[in-house]
Structure 1
Amino acid sequence: MTANVLLEALGTTIEPDLLVEALTHRSFSHEHEGAKNYERLEFLGDAVLELVSTETLYKVHPDMNEGQLAKMRAKAVSEESLSKIAREKLHVGPYILLGHGEAEQGGADKSSILCDIVESLIGATFIQHGIDEARRVVHHLVDDTLAEVATEGPALDWKTSLTVKAHEMGLPDPHYQTSVAGPEYALEFTARAILGGGGEVIGVGTGSSKRKAQLAAAEMGWKALDSRKGEMGGKQNGKTHKSHHRSHRKSNGGTQDAAQGK
């Protein structure tokens, strides 16, 4: 596979040295002195992506408030969404330069790295061509996702949705405990979603940042409570049916007694 295939999928041109930088993970730069990694470009690309996605949502959804727009943007530029773009639109995995250890651990298909690469490629596009071309590339990559998120419910913001779900069920507010492990260039955060002070863990999630891990834990927690709520509803319906049946039998019995002069 040549770089031209990747650039065709991206829909723009990037000069070779800048493209190499955009595809270089810090684990590779740690092993190769003088090699630049993509972190600065990722930082820039993240800002461009947020600007363009915010602008698009603002124009397309004039009836939505700030909170709704923020939730849609967060989902559209999430690790899950961007890594899907990296896999399915760009097929970028084989092009990523990784250190030996990271490569052995499957870094070329890690969602956190794929997400970073999408942002670094946007940053590289901005550096070489400016905001207009960068905006066009962002639209090319994420417009489908921006359209999809407008139809989603709780997935737009799992943490908020989990809190609302807990309130609906009369449960205490969830809180999160987060730990981190791994080398500096490949940190992995683990978060636990816990209900109130009782210590009940309802969800566990991992991610390349504290926020991503907590969102994953909140998603698992929301689904657990939603399932629990469904079970409770089924049991309640069963009780209501039995109660109605007993009342019906008593009513019939009373009617029969009266008819027999009892």
Structure 2
Amino acid sequence: MIQDSRRSKELEKFLFKLGLTNTEKIDFSLLDLALTHPSVSRDANYDQLEFVGDAVVRLAASEVLWETYPNCPVGEFAAIRSILVSDRCLAEFADCFGLERYLLVSPSAAADDAGKISRVADAFEAVLGAIYLSTQTMVMIRPWLDPLLKMKAAEVRQDPARQNYKDALQEWSQGNYKLLPEYRVRETRQKHDDRDRFTAEVWLEDRHLGTGTGRSKKAAEQAAAKQAYRKFLV
């Protein structure tokens, strides 16, 4: 049980966003841990639940792929699943439910924009772990998680680059020019600006291939690679 009634109501609101209204079986103390960053407590945080949740999301993704694409080769299953369970993808899922506003995190950690994707993805996995351990089944997970997995899987299958534009662009540049792309990144927004903080340009020697923005340097590079990929490879 959670002694703080305000925190308990916050957690109930979060579960409601997941579409879970019958929450008697949910262990709220586990859910509270799942939404507690290690910067708040070294001992009572989401680390162990994240470990369990990692297995849960992999199982859910595997079942969704098997059910949705029964004739798909195992190699393609593995490639798509690796994207579905990536930090970037899980953070996107978490954002759909506004998870970050329920995550207890120290001010210093919250100010680390570069670590946002990782901590939100970790918390999302921890939430899955908490719900699974509360119920010992996937019954309260699959109904709200499946649509996200199916939508993202369909998106990935339609994308020849499998949403890793940096790798695809590098393969193209090496194959055609025996050169690696060069990324030039600069900070174009203030740290606490809600908009994308970094701008990246990708070059091949003196040839400008694309420009992109992102909240992290990696995200900006991926966006620049995506523009270049769509310009020269599609």
Please give the range of the TM-score, normalised by the shorter of the 2 chains.
Answer: 0.5 to 0.7
Whether contact under 8 Å (1:28, 1:100) holds in the other structure is: no
1:37 counterpart = 2:45 = yes
Residue 28 of structure 2 corresponds to which residue in structure 1? 16
Residue 128 of structure 1 corresponds to which residue in structure 2? 134
Aligned-partner SS, 1:110: helix
Tell me the matched-pair count. Answer: 201
Whether contact under 8 Å (2:165, 2:229) holds in the other structure is: no
CA-CA distance at 1:207 after TM superposition: 10
Structure 1, unpaired ranges of 5+: 176-193, 231-262
Distance 1:142 1:159, change over 3 A: same
Whether contact under 8 Å (2:36, 2:104) holds in the other structure is: yes
Q: 2:151 aligns with which of 144, 150, 154?
A: 144
1:1-262 alignment to 2 at 5 Å? 2-12=10-20, 13=23, 14-30=26-42, 35-88=43-96, 90-103=97-110, 105=111, 110-133=116-139, 135-137=141-143, 138-139=145-146, 141-158=148-165, 160-172=167-179, 220-221=224-225, 223-224=227-228, 227=231, 229=232
Distance 1:69 1:121, change over 3 A: same
The whole-number CA distance in structure 2 between the counterparts of 1:153 and 1:57 is: 18
Counterpart of 2:120 in structure 1: which amino acid?
L
Give the alignment's TM-score, normalised by structure 2: 0.66
Distance 1:219 1:51, change over 3 A: farther
Whether contact under 8 Å (1:162, 1:218) holds in the other structure is: no
The whole-number CA distance in structure 2 between the counterparts of 1:117 and 1:80 is: 13
The whole-number CA distance in structure 1 between the counterparts of 2:63 and 2:180 is: 33
CA-CA distance at 1:62 after TM superposition: 3.0
Distance 1:131 1:174, change over 3 A: farther
Counterpart of 2:62 in structure 1: which amino acid?
T
* Structure number with higher helix proportion: 1
CA-CA distance at 1:57 after TM superposition: 1.1
**Cα deviation 1:67-110 (Å, max 9, x = unaligned):** 3222322222222322222122x11222111123123x066x92
Structure 2, unpaired ranges of 5+: 1-8, 183-201
CA-CA distance at 1:58 after TM superposition: 2.5
Whether contact under 8 Å (2:37, 2:46) holds in the other structure is: yes
CA-CA distance at 1:124 after TM superposition: 0.6
**Cα deviation 1:120-167 (Å, max 9, x = unaligned):** 110111111113325525325533323332322214344652343225
Q: CA RMSD in A?
A: 3.9
Give the alignment's TM-score, normalised by structure 1: 0.60
Distance 1:126 1:142, change over 3 A: same
Counterpart of 2:67 in structure 1: which amino acid?
K
CA-CA distance at 1:45 after TM superposition: 0.6
The whole-number CA distance in structure 1 between the counterparts of 2:136 and 2:80 is: 26
User: Percent identity at matched positions?
Assistant: 28
Distance 1:205 1:74, change over 3 A: farther
Higher-Rg member (1/2): 1
Aligned-partner SS, 2:40: helix
The whole-number CA distance in structure 2 between the counterparts of 1:153 and 1:27 is: 39
